[in-house]
Amino acid sequence: MIWTKEDGGWNPYLAGALLGILAILSVYATTLWLGKSSYLGASTTFVRAAGLLEQTISPEHVAANAYFTKTKVRIDWQFMLVTGIFLGALLSSLTDRSFKFESVPPIWQERFGPSIWKRGAGAFLGGIIAMVGARLASGCPSGHGLSGVMQLSVSSLVAVAMFFIFGIIVAALVYGRRLS
């Protein structure tokens, strides 16, 4: 088994296993210090970010919204976790020189051409659909995929199957033709 790859990346099995350890330590640490077992997740933070942005325009609207009230719009543990992902990826990519400005990814470019705006529109629309789905299902590949499956949650096992089934179908439809 090779531990690192030519580009300085780590073997995905090794990096994944280390993430498993981090997930365990994180639940333990939140239970110990915050008094509540918190599991890794990311998508709720987007609700809080939306709420914080909307508050600058209309605080009354956010206060009156049932979903924002339920989620509690504030900079909490998970919000900082997601902020940390940005910093960790930045540090890691700068130190191993894999940091690269990219405006259009190669697979996208092969199918839709080099237009930044086409890529931007696709990513934006995809983002809207994905986040409505993630909030309806109560989780994303972090909250359901990692944390939920680790606990063998029924909802997470079903959600992850749906993520992949529909992801595979749509990826084949969107990128499939010119690649094969």
Q: What is the identity of the amino acid at 176?
A: G
Does residue number 72 form part of the binding site for another protein (CB under 8 A)?
no
Q: How far is the CB of 38 from another protein (least distance, A)?
A: 8
Q: How far is the CB of 131 from another protein (least distance, A)?
A: 3
Residue 13: which H helix or E strand, with range?
Answer: helix 12-34
Q: Among residues 58, 59, 63, 67, which is the contact residue for another protein, using CB under 8 A?
A: 67
CA distance 32 to 128: 36
The residue among 172, 151, 148 whose CA lies nearest residue 161 is: 148
Reduced to 3 states, what is the DSSP secondary structure of residue 10? strand
Does residue number 87 form part of the binding site for another protein (CB under 8 A)?
yes
CA distance 49 to 68: 11
By CB under 8 A, the count of residues binding another protein is: 133
Q: How far is the CB of 51 from another protein (least distance, A)?
A: 7
Q: Among residues 54, 55, 60, 72, which is the contact residue for another protein, using CB under 8 A?
A: 54
Residues 26-45 that bind another protein (CB under 8 A): 26-31, 33-34, 37-40, 42-43, 45
Does residue number 2 form part of the binding site for another protein (CB under 8 A)?
no
Residues 105-144 that bind another protein (CB under 8 A): 105-108, 116, 119-144
Does residue number 64 form part of the binding site for another protein (CB under 8 A)?
no
Does residue number 58 form part of the binding site for another protein (CB under 8 A)?
no
Helix axes 154-179, 116-137, angle to 10 degrees: 160
CB nearer to another protein: pick between 17 and 59: 17
DSSP 6: T
**Angle CA(87)–CA(91)–CA(95) in degrees, nearest 5?**
170
CA distance 4 to 163: 29
Does residue number 17 form part of the binding site for another protein (CB under 8 A)?
yes
